[in-house]
Structure 1
Amino acid sequence: MNIKNEFEKREKELNAVLTECDNRLKKMPEGKLKVITKKGKPYYYFRKDGKDASGTYIRRKNLDKARKLAQRDYEIQVKKALSDEMKALSLYSKAMPKKTYEHVYDEMIYGRKILITPHFLPDEVFVEKWLAEPYEPLNFDGDLAEHYTDCGERVRSKSEVLIANALNKEGISYKYECPLFLGNKKVYPDFTIMKMPGRKVVYWEHLGLLDDPEYITRNLEKIDCYEENGIFLGDNLIITRETSEKPLNMKQVRRLIEHYLL
């Protein structure tokens, strides 16, 4: 994890909220809101300033005035919280050393690296080790048509060639038909993807025979099994689909990659 990047991301988020607060406050009324609770029911009073202790009762038909005053007070408190956090981020960022523990292994010479089990692997080393983990993919039947990606990897369909090539083009690491245990059931996701830099595993299933009722039933059961084991569509599961009448849409594939994996 790059701490500096996380700070910058958080600071950008805080600045966006701060701008929104300032824009809202421009439209808010002057005065103060006093709230009294009687028998569990709130009663609202408008105070011109701090000297106006009792205030003027705000009737139900004028409740919008109370809402605006309450919203203004909320925005003011949010602004203070934003300011406090931004000051803390600034101080912490200045105090942070240029080199954190994650960088120690990366800066060592090769002769030392091979002797050490590090606490944290650099991203490229982590991905390299993940890809090097051995696994047994599904076998290809002898009479199955041969389809190969630009990297020379054999897959089961022309659509999977297109998906694999799109992933490779973006430098996204994946394993093809790497076995996965969902409870006691063993499945073979089409693509098991390592999303970087967050090191999150995402599965991609391409449903290419949606004209076939048996195929649909089988894959619906598979999707149910994914969800039962904490793998959900739109989070760590991507699904593309096609029929004989509606082939794979590569614009959609690229949109999915951009939205979920980049």
Structure 2
Amino acid sequence: MSEISISKELVKRENELNKVLKDCENKLKKAPSGKLKIINHKGKTSYYLRKDGYDKAGKYVKKNEFDKARRIAQRDYEIDVKNAVNKELSAISSFKKKMPPKTYEHAYEDLISARKVLITPHFLPDEEFVKSWLEEPYEVYARKDEKAQHFTDSGEQVRSKSEVMIANALRKTGIAYKYECPLFLGNTKVHPDFTILKMPSRKVVYWEHLGRLDDPEYLDKNLMHKLDEYEENGIFLGDGLIITRETSEIPLNIKKVMAVIEHYLM
């Protein structure tokens, strides 16, 4: 993880912790006084309310008085959470102060171009990593004769109007992808519609669009069988695999495409 990613995660965690801290403080303002004593005897749990630490015995809590016991238990829990949050916030603050302004990822980034060409870096900056990924050659999927021809805004030929929509949306949002790049699922070679590089995590995600779900034969071949192949090779729907679908009556639309992109890829 790069220093930038670490910083983002720390800020995200700090924001989360501060929200929890604020919530704890608000709840503690309304918390009751007193202490809760719990005794477990022969499998039976009994609760006692104590005024303070000097009140050893306390008052037995009847069923109709459980609300106060719950409130005191909740108060003690909020105190524990508040203490844990403050310790973590302090640790994050200390870590941020000790974190060097530059990490090893910058060692290559700060070199002049003439020196970069001589080096195989441990870490490529995001922009160069994406460029290198896109430039990797791959075998183009052999096409059968197709009457309809569909082209994206960049002039890339795809197989359907829906794939034009997906490709254009990916390009518009700056998401790197390869169209019908081969992938081996065990011994089977498949060609996912879109192989996507999710940044900044650098995770590869596959996007399959199923365009004829009202065709039973197509459904069996492209949904059930294909999904099984992905899952058997550790690629699961929602985690490494995106599937969109349509029928002749319910076509894919750009609103759906953008919702998928924003949820899974941004």
TM-score by length of 1: 0.95
Report the Cα distance in structure 1 between the residues aligned to 2:55 and 2:186, rounded to whole angstroms. Answer: 66
Corresponding residue to 2:202 among 199, 202, 206: 199
Q: Secondary structure at the match of 2:53?
A: coil
Provide the rounded CA distance (Å) in 2 between the counterparts of 1:105 and 1:147.
Answer: 41
| 1:167–1:173 Cα contact (<8 Å) kept | yes
Corresponding residue of 2:227: 223
Question: 1:16-27 to 2 correspondence within 5 Å?
Answer: 16-27=19-30
Q: 1:236 aligns with which of 214, 218, 240?
A: 240
* Corresponding letter in the other structure for 1:215: Y
Q: How far 1:230 sits from its partner (Å)?
A: 2.1
Whether 2:261 is the aligned partner of 1:257: answer: yes
Out of 63, 66, 69, the position equivalent to 2:66 is 63
CA distance in 2: counterparts of 1:106 and 1:208, whole angstroms: 43
1:115 corresponds to 2:133: no
Superimposed CA distance per residue, residues 6-65 of structure 1 (whole angstroms, 9 cap, x where no aligned partner) = 211111111111122223223332211112222344322111112212211212333332
* Cα distance in 2, alignment partners of residues 222 and 127 from structure 1: 28
Shift of 1:98: 0.8
Deviation at 1:235, TM superposition (A): 2.1
Contact 1:46 1:55 in 2 (8 A): yes
Q: Once the 2 structures are TM-superposed, how far is the Cα of residue 164 of structure 1 from its aligned partner?
A: 0.3
Q: Deviations over 1:111-131 (max 9, x none)?
A: 111111211111111111111
Whole-angstrom CA distance in 2 between matches of 1:184 and 1:42 = 59
Match for 1:88 among 64, 86, 91? 91
Residue aligned with 1:205, SS: strand
Partners in 2 of 1:144 and 1:22 — Cα distance?
67
Q: What is the distance in 2 between the residues matched to 1:184 and 1:60?
A: 64
TM-score with structure 2 length normalisation? 0.93
Rounded Cα–Cα distance in structure 2 between residues aligned with 1:214 and 1:40: 60
Provide runs of 4+ in structure 1 moved above 4 Å.
none
| Structure 1 residue identity aligned to 2:91 | A
1:133 paired residue number: 136
State the AA in 2 paired with 1:113.
K
Deviation of the 1:256 alpha carbon: 0.9
Contact preservation (8 Å) 1:33, 1:47 = yes
Report the 3-state secondary structure (helix = DSSP H, G, I; strand = E; otherwise coil) of the residue aligned with 2:178: strand
Residue matched to 2:11: 8
- How much has 1:173 moved relative to structure 2? 0.4
1:46, 1:58 within 8 Å by CA — same for their partners in 2? yes
3-state secondary structure, aligned to 1:93: helix
Q: Could you list the runs of 5+ residues in structure 1 that have no partner in the other structure?
A: none
Q: Is 105-114 or 54-63 further displaced after alignment?
A: 54-63
Question: Match for 1:28: what amino acid?
Answer: A
Question: How many residues are treated as equivalent by the alignment?
Answer: 262
Letter in 2 for 1:244: S
Mapping of residues 178-217 of structure 1, within 5 Å: 178-217=181-220
Counterpart of 1:46 in 2: which secondary structure? Answer: strand
Q: Tell me the secondary structure at the aligned position of residue 54 of structure 1.
A: coil
- The CA distance in 2 between the partners of 1:60 and 1:130, in whole Å, is 65
**Structure 2, unaligned stretches of length 5 or more?**
none
